[in-house]
Amino acid sequence: MKKIAGLLIALTIFGIHSMAQTAFITNSISNTVKVINVATNTIITTIVVGASPTGVSVSPNGTKVYIANRGVNTVNAINTATNTVSATITVGNHPDGVIVSPDNSKVYVTNSFTGTVSVINAFVDTVSATVLFNNGTYGIAESPDGSRVYVTVVGVNAGANSVAVINTAADTVLATIPVGINPYGITVSTNGNKAYVTNFNDNTVSIINTITNTVSSTVLVGSHPWGICSSPDGTMVYVANYNDSTVSFINTSTDLVSATINVGSGPMGLSVSPDGAKLYVTNWNENSVSVINTATNAVVDTIVVYHGPVGLGNFISNYPVVTGFAMHSMESKGITIYPNPATDIITISTEDKNVKLCKIFLRDILGQLILESNEMIVDISKLSPGIYCLEVVLDGEKVVRKVVKM
């Protein structure tokens, strides 16, 4: 088959040992993103991004990570297959929060100084719309069905200290909900019925009924609450309290604090692993990430990341990456796989006629076999978007490549 220019990739392939989710920690002082293996709590690599990165959002299909760089008014898109920056998008002044829509089609970015939300078309990574506000915008979250985006609004003008509700079909504001003073973080419950908002100057969390768009209750937490996230099963909400270096656990059945855990100094952002077993908390003052076992409510590990970790947003991928491999050179085997990422067909070719291609296996992120073939062309058109493992057996040797279905 004729090679397509720009899509033919000489690959490095690995003999598989393990797979694990990854965490992407924004370091606002060093202008980097630290990539952490969630299984081992070790740093895999460091990615250089724009100045003062703060907000972060991993796309639901795991193929991209979007980073808000408040120092240069840009958003970087990171390709998770290569852990490199694939696009730089100019947005408003001082972008802070970022969220990818459930269908991976849009990215919403809060710009705190210009009081706007930039809407990015994720297919081409360009700004397609801008939503205007009368105050600064900061935290951001989205309903599970993608129909609503919730934005915290801070400032001194009318309409400040509120949460704005954006209709994503039209990208227009349909409601404004008053909350506490200086609302920063926000998360939406897994069933979409409630939104939880950290009020930095009130030491409280406002709980919003998303059906009526009104505050149903207010919970006292620690000093200067900042980041917030929900557990995957919806039973718990976690709040990072910056000034007293704690994390509050809110039981969503009662909407009361059920536990308070000491972490590193100056916690800001937090995300929970997809299985809900571990909570990761960025500690600004200590240049570290605390790892909490959510079953025992104890800190089980501390990861030094340097410098100025923020991690505002969902920074843990729902998809694992292939790690811990013995290396094999695809170039030495004369093999190419293209395109990657792909939408419908993946082609495997070899220029070495002495190499015998025996079998191809495609597995999902849990290691379940999706298909096997003796053909050089693999049809992935009916697969869901995400990350898969392509195993190629040749000359009795198995090599593996992470492939991305768009």
Shared domain for 130 and 71, answered yes or no, is: yes
318 and 379 fall within a common domain: no
Tens-place pLDDT, residues 289-311: 999 999 999 999 999 998 999 99
Percent of the chain with pLDDT over 70: 85
Within-domain flag for 7: no
pLDDT top residue among 371 and 180: 180
Q: Are residues 329 and 318 in the same domain?
A: no
Better-scored residue on pLDDT, 165 or 390: 165
The CATH number of the domain holding residue 393 is: 2.60.40.3080
Do 363 and 314 have their domain in common? Answer: no
- Residue at which a domain ends, from 322, 338, 354: 322
Among 322, 338, 367, residue at a domain's last position:
322
187 within some domain: yes
Domain membership flag for residue 13: no
* Predicted pLDDT at 399: 65
For residue 108, what pLDDT is reported?
Answer: 98
Report how far residue 97's alpha carbon sits from residue 90's, in angstroms, rounded to the nearest whole number: 14
* For range 206-235, the mean pLDDT: 97
Does the pLDDT value for residue 9 go beyond 60? Answer: no
Tell me the per-residue pLDDT of 115-149, one tens digit each, with 9 for 90 and over.
Answer: 999 999 999 999 999 999 999 999 999 999 999 99
Asked whether residue 397 carries a pLDDT value surpassing 60, the answer given is yes
Label residue 365 by pLDDT band (50, 70, 90): low
- Give the residue-averaged pLDDT of 378-382: 89
Peptide bond into 341 cis (omega under 30): yes
Q: Is the pLDDT of residue 269 over 80?
A: yes
What does the block give as tokens for 19?
């797979």
pLDDT of residue 18: 39
pLDDT of residue 245: 98
Q: Is residue 112 pLDDT above 80, yes or no? A: yes
* Domain boundary, last residue among 288, 304, 322: 322
Least reliable range by pLDDT among 130-144, 334-348, 378-392: 334-348
pLDDT of residue 396: 60
Residue 220: the pLDDT is: 98
Whether residue 35 sits in one domain with residue 117: yes
Per-residue pLDDT band at 40 (split at 50, 70, 90): very high
In this predicted structure, the answer to whether residue 405 has a pLDDT above a threshold of 90 is no
pLDDT at 142: 96
Indicate if 68 and 165 belong to the same structural domain: yes
Q: Total structural domains in the chain?
A: 2
Whether residues 335 and 269 fall in one domain: no
pLDDT of residue 331: 40
Classify residue 14: in a domain, yes or no.
no
CATH of the domain at 109: 2.130.10.10
**Residue 87 forms part of a structural domain:** yes
**Is 339 in the same domain as 313?**
no
Among 16-20, 241-245, 351-355, top mean pLDDT goes to: 241-245
- Residue 164 domain flag: yes
Confidence grade of residue 243 (pLDDT, cut at 50, 70, 90):
very high
Q: What is the pLDDT of residue 358?
A: 65
pLDDT over 50 at 332, yes or no: no
For residues 283 and 267, is the Cβ–Cβ distance under 8 A?
A: yes
Report the amino acid identity of residue 89.
I
Whether 59 maps to a domain, the answer reads: yes
> What average pLDDT does the segment 214-239 reach?
97
pLDDT at res. 369: 83
Question: What's the Cα-to-Cα distance from 246 to each of 226, 259, 287, 315, rounded to whole Å?
Answer: 11, 10, 16, 19
CA–CA gap between residue 390 and residue 373 (Å, rounded)? 11
Residue that wins the pLDDT comparison between 4 and 265 = 265
Task: State the residue range of the domain holding 44.
Answer: 20-322
Decide if 1 is inside a domain. no
Q: Is 316 helix (H, G, I), strand (E, B) or coil?
A: strand
User: Residue 5's pLDDT is what?
Assistant: 28
The tokens for 86 are 């694939």
Question: Strand runs (DSSP E) across 11-125, as ranges?
Answer: 12-15, 18-27, 32-37, 42-48, 53-58, 64-69, 74-79, 84-90, 95-100, 106-111, 116-121
- Using the CB atoms, write b or e for 49-68: b if 16+ within 10 Å: bbebbbbbbbbbbbbbbbbb
Question: Is residue 57 located within the same domain as residue 37?
Answer: yes
Q: 332 and 277, same structural domain?
A: no
Same domain flag for 194 and 97: yes
Chain segment 77-111, per-residue pLDDT in tens? 999 988 999 999 999 999 999 999 988 899 999 99
pLDDT band at 392 (very low <50, low <70, confident <90, very high): confident
- Whether 321 has a pLDDT exceeding 60, the answer reads no
**Residues 345, 304 share a domain:** no
